Amino acid sequence: MLVYTQSVDRALQKLTACGIRPTAQRVQIAALLLSADQHLSAEQILASLGARGMHVSKATVYNTLNLFAASGLIRQLSIDGERTWFDSNTAAHYHFHDVDGGELIDVPVPDVEFSRLPTIPDGMELAGIDLVIRVRRKQAEAA
């Protein structure tokens, strides 16, 4: 339980550092998300908490995830229109998306280089770059 205790402690610190009141539910959700670089849906988080015997209501899960995203503690991803994904890795990075399995894999920033980017429209400024590289299982070639 050492690892778990550590991630609860770290979660508590992070929430406090962001000026978010560290309620029991928020600490649990933060501990779960921040235990690794991962992509989770609200439903998955609800289920994980439930599996660990911690009941948190659906409304609170959503409210909390939105709060965390607004505070920059996590990042929201629009990958497939099915649902929102919450990414615990807030450092700049990109994604592979397995269109068959739905899986998301991080792509580190240094693995992508832009030698040319479009001019930002007048009166606008850059807010971020989302790059999703869709991949699929390779078809077996005819022998």
Binding site for a copy of itself (CB under 8 A): 76, 78-81, 83-84, 94, 96, 98-99, 105, 107-108, 111-121, 123-139
**Residues binding DNA: number (CB under 7 A):** 24
Structure tokens at 121: 């429209």
Q: Rounded to the nearest 10 degrees, what angle do helices 42-51 and 58-70 cross at?
A: 120
In angstroms, what is the minimal distance from the CB of 39 to DNA?
Answer: 13
Of 30-38, 82-90, 108-116, 118-126: span binding DNA (CB under 7 A): 82-90
79 binds, options DNA, a copy of itself, none, Cβ within 5 to 8 A by partner type: a copy of itself
DSSP for 57-104? -HHHHHHHHHHHHHTTSSEEE-SSSSS-EEES--SSEEEEEETTT--E
Binding site for DNA (CB under 7 A): 20-26, 41-43, 55-60, 62-64, 66, 81-84
